[in-house]
Amino acid sequence: MGLDVRLSLGLLFLAIGALLALYGLFTMGSDLYAKSIGVNLNLIWGSIMMTLGLLAAWLGRKPK
Amino acid sequence: MHLALIDWLVMLVYFGFVLGIGFALRRYIRSSNDFFLAGRSIPAWVCGLAFISANVGAQEVLGMGASGAKYGIVMSHFYWIGAIPAMLFVGYFMMPFYYGSKARSVPEYLRMRYDEKTRALNAFSFAIMTIFSSGISLYAMALLIQTLGLLDGLIPHAWVFHFSIFLSAAIVLGYIFLGGLSSAIYNEVLQFFLIVAGFLPLVWIGLRNVGGWAAIQQRLPATMTHSWRGMEHASTNSLGVGVVGLVMGLGFVLSFGYWCTDFLVIQRAMAAESQESARLVPVIAAIPKMFFPFVVILPGLIAVCVTSHALAPATASAPAAIVAGVSAAPTPGIAEGPQVKEIHPHGIIPQKVDPITGEPVLDSTGAPVYNYDLATPLLLIHFFPAGMLGLGITALLASFMSGMAGNVTAFNTVWTYDIYQSYIRKNASDSHYLWMGRAATVGGILLSIGAAYAVTSFNNIYDALQLIFSLVNAPLFATFLLGMFWKRTTGHAAFAGLLSGSAAALLHHGLTIPQGALPGIHGGWIATLHIYPSDMAQNFWTAIFSFSVNLVVTTVVSVLTRPRPEGELVGLVYSLTPRHIDSSLPWYKRPIWIASGVAAMALVLNFLFR
């Protein structure tokens, strides 16, 4: 197959991770996080997803 | 419940990718082989993740969360006993025949090994079951969207259910119609990672909140936090199942019958790029499968522990009489033995409310009934802030879709190859069958929608379907086991064995009943010869009887009928097929070493949570 699933997966995680991390940055210290017992889950998990997404996309990049 | 803009954005990004993959793969679909078998070109790890993702349907994420809340970590038996051994077996022993025979589907293997009628029996019953399974996924998804009120305020409440059904059906249709099996497999890989990405932080924050596993162990009865505690006898554990029923019924008959014969999962392995890869697919799939209890069952346990640091919710919302009722009355359908009557907290699990009267639902003893199905979704809402909530909901929807898409791709293949090409139009061009595959995808989705509405309108149909699934599936493994490992087995014998196995299951069901149930759909409709402590026990023993009857009948009829010449069975039967030597691979890539590692790890997990 011509499409590497790691690339699609990486881009998906990168996109969702970036959305969450940015949202987390803008809502830092907000009482939104009372629910998640004070942890800014958006920022933390968003950044983790971005990192994993970058890694997967890099592994699945098109060979030159 | 209202979702924020960020939640919708996360969901939109995901659905954009889902359909985007369908479009991107569309140009690679040139033949029916590309559409139905993904051109047999997919790497093992991709198929492996699709293999478990297709199996993780609605029943798993919601159902295991619900059962985790109700019964506890003991449900991990459905993984460590009821999946891993069978997955290793199908990969190591059976895959060479499925893949090596070049059969395009499991029913087609049955035709090659046995005869036309055995294939027809399997193909028709399988096709009908996939439609109903996919309909159940669709129904459960729409019901969840409606219950959580995800779309409230966007469209009128009365339309939410119908809108959800048609929208999710349209999305699944879109990506399978365009890209066939490869699109389904690629999406299943995405769905797998999304499910993990959505539920892992839930478990982390949940454990942090309740004070870790040790705190859960303190708060819940021991039978909920140990998977082998009280398993020696059916009356001393919450499942109502003894160790023989568990290991033979679940661990052997039911689990091998599903993982080793169900085309829904086997199809993923058949899409692998080589025979070595195909053998590795179920073995690789077993690795994440082993850890799934921590992602899907644990949220259920956390959900019942969550609010107990404050007032127990039942105490807060209901008079003490009802609380007393809870501890005294067994959970409906499950008979609790004397040692299991400890108070079971309910955490954030809501009581079931009658949708028409708005009154809480009570069981026959007057105790409230809890809606365990909401354990996992409510935990998401409880802990996740806007943003993460979008991710969690996306993960839930992804799990429903992967289950549905798995059924639809299995259906369109069996319909086109095993029914249409075999009995309706034999010698058409390949492009005609490709066209038929796309048409069958549309047809399968429309039938699934019909099935979803059937489940909606008849209260009992869900139980009836579970019963039919168990009647058809219970005897299957004996037929495959004898077919692959005993060259003497004949087609007439396989056919007779399957029918009598199903008949035995039906008879056993008619003669036994789970404790507390009324004769009818739950059993005992002929007479009541035996009462099982729970419906799970009845189900396991039905399977054991059905398998044994099939084994005996197939063996006896085989001896009485003329076997096929050995030359015709090469590649289909173990003793007549040259052993595949995989010594060219480095040791860590050989199925035997990976499989042994997985088996050892599963033993360790059983020991840790004993």
pLDDT band at residue A2 using 50, 70 and 90 as cut-offs = low
**pLDDT score recorded for residue B348:** 78
Share of chain B above pLDDT 90, in %: 33
Q: Which of A2, A39, A49 sits opposite B197 (nearest CB)?
A: A49
The pLDDT value recorded for residue A1 is 53
* Angstroms from A41 CA to nearest CA on chain B: 7
Distance, CA of B320 to CA of B362 (rounded, Å): 15
Restricting to B residues 54-93, those with a Cβ less than 8 Å away from any Cβ of A are none
pLDDT: is B520 or A58 the higher one?
A58
Interface mutation target, options B384, B391, B393, B397, chain A, most CBs of A under 10 Å: B391
Highest mean pLDDT out of B195-199, B234-238, B596-600, B602-606:
B195-199
List the single residue in B41, B382, B391 with the smallest CB-CB distance to A16: B391
Q: B334: which strand partners?
A: B534
pLDDT > 50? residue B217: yes
Tens of pLDDT, residues B147-179: 888 888 788 888 889 999 999 999 999 989 988
d(CA A37, nearest CA chain B) in Å:
7
What Å distances lie between residue B603 and B241, B250, B413, CA to CA?
Answer: 20, 17, 37
d(CA B127, CA B124): 5
Structure tokens at B537: 């026990």
Task: Grade residue B341 by pLDDT with cuts at 50, 70 and 90.
Answer: very low
Note the pLDDT of residue B331.
37
pLDDT, mean over chain B: 84
> B39 and A24: CB-CB below 8 Å?
no
Q: What is the pLDDT of residues B412-441, one digit of tens each?
A: 999 999 999 999 988 888 889 999 999 999
Contact predicate B350/B370, CB 8 Å = yes
Angstrom distance (rounded) from CA B254 to CA B86: 10
**From the CA of A24, how many Å to the nearest CA of chain B?**
8
CA gap B291, B167 in Å, rounded: 32
pLDDT of B165 = 92
CA gap A8, A56 in Å, rounded: 9
CB contact under 8 A, A8 and B186: yes
Q: How many CB atoms lie within 10 A of CB B171?
A: 19
> pTM of the predicted model, to two decimals?
0.87
CA B225 to chain centre: 23
B446-465: string of b/e by CB count within 10 Å (b at 16+)?
ebbbebbbbbbeeeebbeeb
A contact residues 1-60, partner B, Cβ 8 Å cutoff: 1-3, 5, 8-9, 11-13, 15-16, 19-20, 23-24, 27, 32-33, 35-37, 39, 41-42, 45-46, 49
Closest-CA residue to B563 (of B493, B488, B492): B488
Highest mean pLDDT among B335-349, B364-378, B454-468: B364-378
pLDDT tens profile B503-562 = 999 999 999 988 877 887 888 888 888 888 888 888 889 999 999 999 999 999 999 999
Q: What angle do CA B280, A57, B187 make, to 5 degrees?
A: 55
Residue whose pair of structure tokens reads 């305020």 in the numeric block: B153
Q: Which residue has the tokens 């079951």?
A: B129
- For residues B574-600, average pLDDT: 78
Q: Are A11 and B24 an interchain contact pair (Cβ–Cβ within 8 Å)?
A: no
User: What is residue B530's predicted lDDT score, i.e. its pLDDT?
Assistant: 87
pLDDT band at B238 (very low <50, low <70, confident <90, very high): confident
Rounded to an integer, the average pLDDT of B327-337 is 36
Contact predicate B184/B270, CB 8 Å: no
Over residues B380-388, the mean pLDDT reads: 90
DSSP string, B416-439: IIIIIIIII--S--HHHHHHHHHH
| Coil/strand/helix, residue B383 | helix
> Minimal Cα–Cα distance from A58 to chain B, Å?
16
**Strands B530-532 vs B512-514: parallel, antiparallel or unpaired:** parallel
Contact (Cβ atoms closer than 8 angstroms) between residue B346 and residue B312? yes
* C-alpha dist (Å) from residue B191 to B32, B186, B397: 25, 9, 9
Cα gap B549→B554, rounded to integer Å = 8
Give the contacts of B204 (CB within 8 A, at least 6 positions apart).
Answer: none
Q: In this prediction, does ipTM exceed 0.90?
A: yes
pLDDT of residue B86: 92
CA angle B213, B215, B221 (to 5 degrees): 95
- Non-local (6+) Cβ contacts of B596 within 8 A are none
Q: Are B251 and B477 in contact (CB under 8 A)?
A: no
Alpha carbon distance B4, A43 (integer Å):
16
Token pair belonging to B7: 């939640």
Whole-number pLDDT of residue A63 = 65
Dihedral angle, C-alpha B460, B377, B286, A10, nearest 10 ° = 130
For the ranges B4-8, B495-499, B582-586, the lowest mean pLDDT is seen at B582-586
- Asked if residues B251 and B85 have their Cβ atoms less than 8 Å apart, the reply is yes
| Fold type of domain B5-328+374-457+579-608 | Sodium/glucose cotransporter (1.20.1730)
Which DSSP string do the residues of B360-376 spell out, in sequence order? BPB-TTSPBPB-GGGHH
Predicted confidence band of residue B326 (pLDDT cuts 50, 70, 90): very low
B557 touches B245 (CB < 8 A): no
**Burial degree of A2 (CB within 10 A; 0-12, 13-18, 19+):** exposed
Instruction: Classify B512 as helix, strand or coil.
Output: strand
Please give the Cα distance from B508 to B546 (Å, whole number).
8
> Side chain identity at B538, as an amino acid letter?
Q
Give mean pLDDT, residues B21-28: 86
Q: Which of the two residues, B502 and B59, has the higher pLDDT score?
A: B502
Chain A CB within 8 Å of residue B6 CB = yes
In B, minimum Cα distance to A21 occurs at B387
The closest of B425, B438, B426 to B29, measured between CA atoms, is B438
Band (pLDDT 50/70/90 cuts) for residue B251 is: confident
How many whole angstroms separate alpha carbon B383 and alpha carbon B9? 19
Specify the pLDDT at position B521: 80
Residues 6+ away with beta carbon under 8 Å from B329:
B363, B365, B366, B367
Nearest CB to B190: which of A9, A35, A37? A9
Which tokens in the block code for residue B155?
A: 């469209």
Rounded distance, CA B193 to CA B203, Å? Answer: 15
* CB–CB contacts below 8 A, A to B: 91
**Residue B215 — pLDDT band, cuts 50, 70, 90?**
confident
The b-or-e profile of B182-220 (16+ CB within 10 A means b, else e) is bbbbbbbbbbbbbbebbbebbbbbbbebbeebeebeebb
CB contact under 8 A, A19 and B9: yes
Give the integer Cα–Cα distance in Å for B501 and B490. 16
Query: Which residue of B46, B199, B388 to mutate against A (max A Cβ within 10 Å)?
Result: B388
Cβ atoms of B433 and B424 within 8 Å: the answer is: no
**For residues B297 and B71, what is the distance between their CA atoms, to the nearest angstrom?**
10
| B chain contacts of residue A1, beta-carbon cutoff 8 Å | 25, 28, 38-39, 41-42, 182
How far is the alpha carbon of B382 from chain A, nearest alpha carbon, in Å? 7
